[in-house]
Structure 1
Amino acid sequence: MVVEPPDRRGLRRITIHGKSVGSAWSLRELRKVLGRLGYPDDLDLDDRSRVHWRGGDSNCWPDDRGWRRHLVIGLMIVGLLGSIGLHFVIGWADALGALTFAQRLVGVLFLLAGVVQAAALPAVVDHWGRRQVRLSGALVLLGVLMALATTTLLLFLWLQEREFIRAVVVFLALWLWSLWALHVLVHEKVWRGIPHPRRFAAGVTVTATLTAVSLGYSILYQPIAAPLHFVLRADFGKPQADADSPYIHVPLKLYAKNAGGIPVYLVVDDYTVTGYMTEFARDGLGMEEWKTDEGDIEWSADAQAFARGLVPEIIASGQFQGPGSTLDIGEEFKMERVITLPKDTRFETLDAVLSFTFLRQDRGKLDDEIYADLSWVEADGGRCAPDDCGEYVIYHSRVRYNTNLINVTRKPRYVVAFWSPTEVTEGFVTSVNLTGREKSPSIEEMYGELDDGETRREAERYGLGWVSVNSEVSVKGLLKQAEQP
């Protein structure tokens, strides 16, 4: 039997008749190895005719500091487990639910990285143990490099917003752990066990490059490449009247089609019919009424030289499909409503407006459940008084970015839309969460909580846009058509 000299860790290899039978860190472990082979416990290990000691006799057992090895093993396993969980949390959602192929590919790559790190767990025990597998150190190095790359990317994305989230503590802890683990592995020069170190380095570089390109494509290129185009129509049909009836029925035909290359969510989709009352301005000075008494410009007002006092009044309003509904590529939707008008109406014109506030599905994804709160209905804790806050419906839902890397590095975002038949409807994306509040905020309170810079930035990030179409007709013309047989 030959007992080889201690290696750098104090481990001595044991061979019998030229065949390796194990290794030991102490005399006690050596006897355990021999006991498993059937040798007696009282075998004289100092008998030079039977045992040949190289690099020191039976008393030469350098302190292997077993507690330190076990501590390193424990820290390596804990760090790898945390990184595995992080990769699966990020990759699972993208691999199964991302809209584009590139985004799903990024999710699959993250899952594969988690699998590789899972394979590195037993390699940790082997590398700081008996080292029976030659590539165990290289496999641990690969897992640590993946953890370092991922946490660096996550911290970089987090620094773009610098919002305090609990997850950033995890990112920072894993990033520091990966630096420590890389230092330990470099100090031990684990690449010496790799058969072809250049090929190994090339493979790691190619994988990192493909991941970076796929991530950049999914976040930057794809949302910009596909065009947005909608076909909207709001047309008045031929009115119907009865000689014995004091009113007429005016059909309103609404139509919408997604003729672009991106499916969308409809955050706000409503129609409004407004009647305008005017007075004839014989002097032709109606154009002067585009300014208020304070001198401020009324951008929403209209001005005509021979029409004075264009007073608008909403006479009909409603929703098209409803907040949270979708309009896929090529999908179209039609609706017809009947507007009732008295024959002796003072309105000169009718204006129908169909408007959408939409969210691009290639940039964001709404939760399946859309919450709707009614400002005039009392709940636990009460509601804001309608006299103070107005009567409206408030819709809100969680919105998630289509790349889960962004979701885990930022505070949750929500889509919020107010709807009232007597006011202008709008929607926005914000970090203000309305779920679980005891009372609905007023529109003024809501705007007080919003950050204008944030809402503009979020609108651009999630592709929140607005499109509308309007149609105007003469009321006298409608009455004339109604009188015709």
Structure 2
Amino acid sequence: MEIRPWVIVEAPDRRGLRRVVVGGETVGSVWSLHQLRKLLDRLGCPADMDLEDPACVYWRGGDSGTWPDRARRRHATVVLMTAGMLASAILNTVIGWPDALGALTFAQRMSGALILLSGAVQAVAVIAVLNHWGRRQHRSSGAVVLLGVLIALATDGLLLFMWFEEKEYTPYLLVFVPLWCWSLWALWVLVRERAWQGIPRPKTFAAGVVVTALLSAVSLAYSTMYQPAAAPMHFVLKAEFGASRADGRKPLVHVPVKLYVKNAGGIPVYIINSDYTVYGRSAEYSEGEDLMEEWRRSLDKNLYEDAERYVGRLRFTAISSGRFYRPGDSLDVGQEHVMERVFQVPVGVEFDTVNVFLQITYMRKDRGKLDVTQFRRMHRSWDEREGMYYCRPEKCGEELYYHGRVRHNNNLVNVTRKPRYVTAIWSPREKPFYSISSYHFKGVIDRSKERRDIDRYGASTAYADTEVSVAELLGAAGG
């Protein structure tokens, strides 16, 4: 006589899953009568086995028709959980990858690595979702899913908080706002199901997860809002006149000038604009008129701020002008740059002094990364082939434009803001100009946001100037 195994089908749990015991050992769990037959077939039971025969199968907590599984609801939950967790893992990877590999400072690299690690945990949680809403072969799968959801809630909440600071449209807004809503829903589902059950000391685990999530959020917020200004910027700029020489064929004096810059601070920088201009100063001399009156008249022309008796009606004429440093090039810590130029002064010139004015505009490399390939490309405002850079000469004159994308060294800022661009304008007739803003040669510049962006990226200008009398130049040249 054949001895049949004693099969026990336990009562359904909260999800409708019924455990199957054969010969005193648990062999699996099933959602339906069809799955039960497939399980018994794999165990070698006869295909025509009568599941209603008490001698074959013993049913607990309901008969063969008790299958309370809500398959559609369960499948929908699995799909939503998997999609949200996977999207959050991809978002964290996209945000953290550039910082972890390319940020200049250690703190920014750690911030990127932390976000990458969070994305890796969420990738594992994607697999845990399938197990937790499946047969739960691993008891800790619910806790892993809970950890992934808390990471998503903390990260997306931080992104949303940062977005509210500027309220600018960015395509990432269409990602992290829905993910933040998804994380709230997912957390509600997991808390309702007490997902932390099944692991040792669930309260300790839950408290540790919450503390970890809070510390991660605080760390990310700190690394985002902190501006690394501890290392001050310091440049050595010099402009020096050399020994002048008379031209043997023409009534000219050749005057050499030496321009020098050194990054004496602790942070490398991008040079986004530079200029040197040689001015000749002429004045109308008086017999000692009121000092303050002469000073006021000088200030009216916005050219001369010194108070000097006997000197009035100052006029400054540009003799020579040029760029001192290539836009977009770096000036690393301790690096020096020297340029020597020669300009000409006519022997009978009306100038009484000659001034050289040197300036560089820089951006700290620990605050942002400039697309130097794009920025170094020179655009001529008067050339119609330049497209969006073209500007009618009667409106803009003749200017050179340098324009390129800049990204913050913390990618959390980049995904919550519009793209930012560095714009530099140089002309021999006007003062050098620069801007860091969302302006992309369309619309107008928001000056209040521009000021914040300039501070955020640590952009500023350093100056140097020197002066020599024309009498000294002509005397040295034998004029």
TM-score w.r.t. structure 2 length?
A: 0.93
What does residue 473 of structure 1 align with? 468
How many residues are matched?
Answer: 469
The 8 Å contact of residues 94 and 104 in structure 1, kept in 2 or not, is answered as yes
Q: Partner of 2:273 in structure 1?
A: 268
Q: Aligned pair 1:300/2:303, yes or no? A: yes
Partner of 1:445: none
Deviations 1:40-76 (A, max 9, x none): 22101222223222222223222x1101000000001
Residue 365 of structure 1 aligns to a residue whose secondary structure is strand
- Change in Cα spacing, 1:214 to 1:145, as seen in structure 2 (3 Å) is closer
Is 1:225 aligned with 2:230? yes
Percent identity, please.
Answer: 54
Instruction: After TM superposition, give the deviation of residue 307 of structure 1 in Å.
Output: 1.5
2:49: which partner in 1? 43
Change (3 A) 1:467 1:77: same
**Cα separation, 2, equivalents of 1:320 and 1:219:** 34
Partners of 2:170 and 2:291 lie apart in 1 by 57
Verify the 8 A CA contact 1:355 1:467 in the aligned structure 2: yes
Letter of the 1:339 counterpart = F
Q: Give the one of 450, 454, 457 matched to 1:455.
A: 450
Assess, with a 3 A threshold, how the Cα gap between structure 1 residues 213 and 24 changes in structure 2: closer, same or farther: closer
Specify the alignment match of 1:398 in structure 2: 405
Give, in whole Å, the separation in 2 of the partners of 1:86 and 1:60: 43
Does the residue aligned with 1:21 lie in a helix, a strand or coil? Answer: strand
Q: How does 1:30-179 map to 2 (within 5 A)?
A: 30-62=36-68, 64-179=69-184
1:317 lines up with 2:317 in the alignment: no
Superposed displacement of residue 199, structure 1 = 4.2
Change over 3 Å in CA distance of 1:414–1:131 after alignment to 2: same
Read off the aligned partner of 1:355 and give its amino acid letter: Q
> Displacement, 1:244?
4.5
Structure 1 gap segments, 5+ residues each: 438-447
Describe how 1:369-384 pairs up with structure 2 within 5 A.
369=373, 370=375, 371-379=377-385, 383-384=390-391
Q: Given residue 125 of structure 1, which amino acid in structure 2 is its aligned partner?
A: L
Range 394-403 or range 41-50, more displaced:
41-50
1:442 aligns with: none
Q: Which amino acid aligns with 1:133?
A: H
**What amino acid sits opposite 2:101 in the alignment?**
L
Correspondence for 1:204 among 197, 209, 218: 209
What is the DSSP-based 3-state SS (H/G/I as helix, E as strand, rest coil) of the residue aligned with 2:117?
helix
Going from structure 1 to structure 2, the CA distance change for 1:202 and 1:256 (only over 3 Å counts) comes to farther
Please say if residues 254 and 342 of structure 2, whose CA atoms lie closer than 8 Å, have aligned partners that are also in contact. Answer: yes
Confirm whether residue 367 of structure 1 aligns to residue 362 of structure 2.
no
Q: Map 1:15-34 onto structure 2 (within 5 A).
A: 15-34=21-40
Task: State how far apart, in whole Å, the 1-side matches of 2:136 and 2:363 are.
Answer: 55
CA distance in 2, matches of 1:456, 1:235: 33
- Cα-to-partner distance string for 1:166-218 (whole Å, 9 max, x where unaligned): 32122110011000011111110011122232442354345335534543553
Tell me the equivalent position of 2:421: 414
Which of 327, 336, 354 is matched with 1:350 structurally? 354
What is the letter of the counterpart of residue 234 of structure 2? H
Q: Which shifted more, 384-393 or 78-87?
A: 384-393
Amino acid in structure 2 at the alignment position of 1:147: A
Q: Note the aligned Cα RMSD (angstroms).
A: 2.0
Return the letter of the residue paired with 2:326: G
Measured in 2, the distance between the counterparts of 1:292 and 1:306 equals: 13
Quote the Cα distance in structure 2 between the aligned partners of 1:482 and 1:304: 28
Q: Aligned in 2, Cα 1:216/1:25: closer, same or farther, shift over 3 Å?
A: closer
